[in-house]
């Protein structure tokens, strides 16, 4: 079955440490997204990528970095510069609208919960 | 503030009753989408309504969109305990070539009591 796999499910970060969250999709989607969700809140966009080797900052990119070397993969690194990283991180993908038209839903993984040690 | 704002923040009903959630937004949109999130899980897409549509149905779901009031509502009919979840609206207001970049509201927590 096609879908999005996020790993690990739980992650703990020590002070001053960078950690990387994995996101892999086998839906053949062009666009991929990273969101942060704080307790009782909606989703905020961190970074997104429409094609391989290209990505754009979202609304809260400071303290995060991404890469898009393969269509299937969009890892997110939470750097030590992110002073409040404790949150639920969600990865999503969608078909790029130029291919099939504007109105496409996003498909989500099951998230990674990051906490500070 | 968020593009989409939902109300109520929390809703508790009995099984079999209908649940209505509302979403308001601020700018012109291409479409508005509703998603569901079970506790500790990812979001699941429920329904998408385009800016030129006024109403859409999918099973027990009915969505309306009023672009003049910049608002939408999600109605779940004959609710079940399994409908207990958080429901989010999300708006796509981007340029044609910008990808389906969505802005999410803060959600409505629906509890359906057996």
Residue A76, chain B, CB below 8 Å: the answer is no
**Residue A35, phi then psi, degrees to nearest 5:** -125, 155
pLDDT in tens, B26-77: 999 989 999 999 999 999 999 999 999 999 999 999 999 999 999 999 999 9
> Does A14 or A91 have the greater pLDDT score?
A91
Q: How confident is the model at residue B98 (pLDDT cuts 50, 70, 90)?
A: low
User: CB–CB of B106 and A50 under 8 A?
Assistant: no
> Which tens digits make up the pLDDT trace of B8-30?
999 999 999 999 999 999 999 98
Q: Which of A4, A105, A114 is the best mutation test for B, with the most CBs of B within 10 A?
A: A105
Place A108 in a pLDDT band, splitting at 50, 70 and 90: very high
User: In DSSP terms, which residues pair with B22 in a beta bridge?
Assistant: B7, B73
Residue A55's pLDDT is 95
Count Cα neighbours of B10 within 13 Å in the Cβ-side half-sphere: 4
Ordered DSSP codes for A15-71: TT--EEEEEEE-S--SEEEEEEE-TT--EEEEEEESSTT--EE-SS-TTEEE--SBT
User: Average pLDDT, whole number, for chain A?
Assistant: 92
- pLDDT (0 to 100) of residue A36: 98
Half-sphere exposure of B113 (CA within 13 A, CB side): 4
Binary contact (A42, B41; C-beta < 8 A): no
Task: State yes or no: pLDDT of B3 exceeds 50.
Answer: yes
Measured in angstroms, the CA of A68 and the nearest CA of chain B are apart by 16
pLDDT category, A98, cuts 50, 70, 90?
low
Using a 10 angstrom Cβ sphere, with 0-12 exposed, 13-18 middle and 19 or more buried, the burial of residue B76 is: buried
- In this prediction, residues B91-113 reach a mean pLDDT of 85
Q: pLDDT-derived band of residue B2, with 50, 70 and 90 as boundaries?
A: very low
Contact A79, A15 (CB under 8 A): no
Q: Indicate which of A42, A48, A52, A93 best probes the interface with B, i.e. most B CBs within 10 Å of its own CB.
A: A42
From the list A81, A82, A80, A89, the residue with the least C-alpha distance to A23 is A89
Give me the pLDDT at residue A96, please.
76
Q: pLDDT tens across A65-77, in order?
A: 999 999 999 999 9
pLDDT in tens, A36-58: 999 888 999 999 999 899 999 99
């Amino acid at each position: 079955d096609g879908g999005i796999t996020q790993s690990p499910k739980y992650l703990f970060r020590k002070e001053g440490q960078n950690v990387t969250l994995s996101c892999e999709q086998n839906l053949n989607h062009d666009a991929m997204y990273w969101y942060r969700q704080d307790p009782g809140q909606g989703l905020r966009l961190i970074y997104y990528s429409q094609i391989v080797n290209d990505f754009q900052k979202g609304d809260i990119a400071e303290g995060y970095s991404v890469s898009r070397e393969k269509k299937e993969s969009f890892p997110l690194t939470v750097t030590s510069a992110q002073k409040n990283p404790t949150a639920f991180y969600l990865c999503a993908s969608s078909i790029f609208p130029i291919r099939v038209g504007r109105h496409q839903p996003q498909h989500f993984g099951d998230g990674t919960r990051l906490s500070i040690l | 503030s968020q593009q989409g704002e939902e109300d109520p923040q929390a809703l508790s009903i009995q099984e079999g009753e209908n649940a209505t959630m509302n979403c308001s937004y601020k700018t012109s949109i291409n479409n508005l989408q509703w998603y569901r999130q079970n506790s500790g899980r990812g979001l699941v897409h429920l329904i998408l309504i385009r800016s030129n549509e006024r109403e859409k149905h999918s099973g027990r779901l009915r969505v309306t969109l009023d672009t003049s009031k910049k608002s939408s509502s999600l109605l779940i009919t004959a609710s079940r305990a399994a409908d207990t979840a958080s429901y989010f609206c999300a708006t796509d207001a981007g340029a044609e070539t910008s990808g389906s970049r969505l802005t999410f509201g803060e959600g409505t927590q629906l509890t359906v009591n057996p």
